[in-house]
Structures are given as structure tokens and as C-alpha cells.
Amino acid sequence: MPHICPNMRRVGFSLLRHHISFPPSSPTVHSGTRACCLRLGVFARHRSSVAGHSWQRESHVTSALGSHAPDLTGPEQRLLSKLYGGLIGGQRASLAESITLVETQHARKKELAQVLLQRVLAYRREQESRNGGKPVAFRVGLSGPPGAGKSTFIEVVGKMLTGRGHKVSVLAVDPSSCTTGGSLMGDKTRMTELSRDMSAFIRPSPASGTLGGVTRTTNEAIVLCEGAGYDIVLVETVGVGQSEFAVADMVDMFVLLIPPAGGDELQGIKRGIIERADLVVVTKSDGDLLVPARRIQAEYTSALKLLRRQSKSWNPEVVRASSHTSEGVPEVWAKMESYRDAMLACGELQGRRRAQQKVWMWSLIQENALLHFQNHPGVREALPHLEERVTKGAISPGLAADLLLKAFSSPSP
């Protein structure tokens, strides 16, 4: 048995089968089991009376767990109740604090974040069922090369939407901050007006972590934003590395923004990502850039015709807009709305969301499995030596991988 979680095997699949209610805190819970289940999000249905700040738990647990419950301490229960109450009450400070909680690397806080998240998910499900099973928010991913004009576009479109009574949240995923700690994107800086808008919430990218981690926290941040009543969630990412594919897997609509630049600057745009685009926007279509913008629009329109269509109900188009003059911006949003309406009407949007849940689960498994592998004592012991031998060519990478996997599957020393 791989060293994944000591109690996982014992708890096993029956975890999902039994529905047993238990009181908010029981001192008898085995901490390892509790941690494991919290991490797995097993305590799926938490009922909370916000006014009374009380947390009653109804849980899916095993007979193995019996009447065990996660022993949240008093302060932890109060913290979660305060965050949940503030969050669904639409307080921006509570939303920010909740996102910080899901971004944490601290083991116990990570568990608390999962409890909060399950509660918010349950709340959102209730809202969706009241909404006839339709999503309560529209998630749009905006990607493009560095400097394409993504933030400026979001600022202009965001202001237009808050002006129409929407609540808009903006999340940023910056692949450079994962590896170097630095930031590629200007993040908040170019959204000065929107960041002052009370109907908007802007969250810069998490400062650290792997791309996998960023994927997880962005997915979770989206859920939190929706719980806080934001009906439009915009996710900005730079078209570098794999982050744009990760974002495409967590939104309802994926929009590619392209500047009217020369061939070299556009070389970096991957064919694969153009295929994923539901809409292509040529930015900065103003002044001297108007002519090159039209040319790029024509080029991409021909290119799109050669690509396989992703949806039966939607044909991706190439449109132009200027965030400086606002010309084309309302039209771009109108296109996004027609996309949403068409995809909702045929059920493809709901289908895409269901598929994304699975992708999300697998990316979590990958991230966690790798972490457990790297932290396994046998692997840690053998790794430096084997890595050295592989780099020197003394043994093949395949053999080294086999040896490490063997070390992983043998019992810990």
C-alpha cells in the first residue's frame, strides 16, 4: 500500500455510503482519520445557523468512523462561522480572508478551508436549485500574451458590468509567481478604478506554490466568490506555460486576447490554446493600431476556420475592441452573453462544469500523490543518490524511477 494516508485504506470506499449525523465536536475522533477525511472533503454537508454562529454537522462517514467527528476547537468553529457568515453576507473582507485560508500551506488551516468550502458549496447548490438548476455565476477566463491588454480590458468591461448592477470578481493566475516568486502581470495596478468599486473584488495571484496549487486555489477561490454573491467571475492569466490550459479547465468561457502586434510577438501563442478559445478578441484596436488590428482579425478568422469546433452550438469568432476608446467593448460583452445563453440553452455549459469537476479532482490527486511520493522517507533517502546517478548516465531514468517507486511502495522504515 503506498504511503498516502494512513487511515485511507481502512476507511475505504464505504466512506461515501453511510450517512451518519453526529454532534459538532466529539473528543473521540482519531486525529489521523479526521485529518484524512477533512482533506478528502468527506464531511460533505455542514449545516450552519449563521445567526446563532453554530455549526451542526451532518456527515457522510463510515461505520469504521462510527460517531467520530472532526474536533474543531471552539476558536476554529467561531472562525469558520464568522468567515461563512461574512462571506455569504457579501463582505469583501470575509471573502479575502477565506481565499487566504484556501491558499494557505499550513496543514490544519488547509483542513479548516475544506470545511468552509464544503459549506459554501452546499450553499451554492441550494442557490442553483432555486435558480432552476442553472449556475448562479458566469465564469470567464481571459488569457493572452504578456502586455496584450488583458487587465485594461477587464477594468473597462468590469466597470461597465458593475454599472449595470452586476457584482464582478477578478482573480489572477500568474505562472511566473509559482516558480520565481516574481510577478509577470501588473495584477491590480492596472485596474485602479475597478479596485475602488464596491461591487468589484480583485484578487491578485497567490504569491507562491506550484501551478497545481494555484489551480486548486483558483478553483476554490471561484467557489468562494460565487458564494459571496459575485455573479461574474473573471480569471486573468498570462499565456505562458500551462496556466492558460488550467484556467480553460475551470471556466464556462475561455477568451483569448491578442494584441495587434507583429508575427514574432504572436509566435508564443500556442495552437492548442487557440483551439480552446470560445472567442478571440483583438485588443488595442485604436489609433495607429487600428490597421494592424484589422489584419490580425482577418488572419485569425481564417485560422479559426481550419480548427475543429469544440461545440455544436457555438462558433468561435474573432472580434476587435479598444479599452482606451471603449469601442467594441459592449459588443464583446454582448457576444459573451450570447455564448452563455446558447450554451445554457443546449445544456453544454452545465455539461462542461460537470466534466471540470472531474478534472479538478484528478489535478488534486496528482498534486497530492506527488507530494506524498516526495515526502516518503524511503524516496527521500534514495532520491539524491539516484538523481546523481541518472544525471551522470550511470543508470537509466527508467530504472531510477522503478527503484524509487519500489521504495515508495515498501513500508516506511
Ligand X SMILES: Nc1nc2c(ncn2[C@@H]2O[C@H](COP(=O)(O)OP(=O)(O)OP(=O)(O)O)[C@@H](O)[C@H]2O)c(=O)[nH]1
Q: CB under 5 to 8 A by kind: which of Mg ion, ligand X, none does 70 bind?
A: none
Minimal distance, residue 147 CB to ligand X, in Å:
4
Give the C-alpha separation, 38 to 70, whole Å. Answer: 8
One character per residue 102-141, x = contact with Mg ion (rule: CB under 5 A)? ----------------------------------------
Nearest to Mg ion of 239, 378 (CB atom): 239
Nearest to Mg ion of 204, 328 (CB atom): 204
> Binding residue for Mg ion (CB under 5 A) from 151, 169, 323, 363?
151
Positions 323 through 342 that interact with ligand X (CB under 6 A): 323-324
Say whether residue 286 binds ligand X (CB under 6 A).
Answer: yes
Q: Strand, coil or helix: what is 188?
A: helix
Minimal distance, residue 186 CB to ligand X, in Å:
5
Name the nearest CA neighbour of 216 among 362, 370, 364, 372: 364
Say whether residue 238 binds ligand X (CB under 6 A).
Answer: yes
Nearest to ligand X of 251, 289 (CB atom): 289
* C-alpha grid cell, residue 289: 493600431
Say whether residue 118 binds ligand X (CB under 6 A).
Answer: no
Positions 367 through 396 that interact with ligand X (CB under 6 A): none
Query: How long, in residues, is the chain?
Result: 413
Kindly indicate which of the ranges 25-33, 148-156, 262-270, 333-341 contains the residues binding Mg ion, using the contact rule CB under 5 A.
148-156
Torsion angle, alpha carbons of 380, 381, 385, 388, to 10: 10
- Give the count of beta carbons closer than 10 Å to the beta carbon of residue 358: 9
DSSP 102-161: HH---HHHHHHHHHHHHHHHHHHHHHHHHTTT--SSEEEEEEESTTSSHHHHHHHHHHHH
Say whether residue 157 binds Mg ion (CB under 5 A).
Answer: no
- Give the count of beta carbons closer than 10 Å to the beta carbon of residue 84: 23
For helices 377-392 and 348-375, the axis angle rounded to 10 degrees is 90
Say whether residue 46 binds ligand X (CB under 6 A).
Answer: no
Cα dihedral 381, 385, 388, 390 sign? negative
Minimal distance, residue 284 CB to Mg ion, in Å:
14
Positions 175 through 194 that interact with Mg ion (CB under 5 A): 185-186
One character per residue 146-175, x = contact with ligand X (rule: CB under 6 A)? xxxxxxx-----------------------
| Contacting residues toward Mg ion, per CB under 5 A | 150-151, 185-186
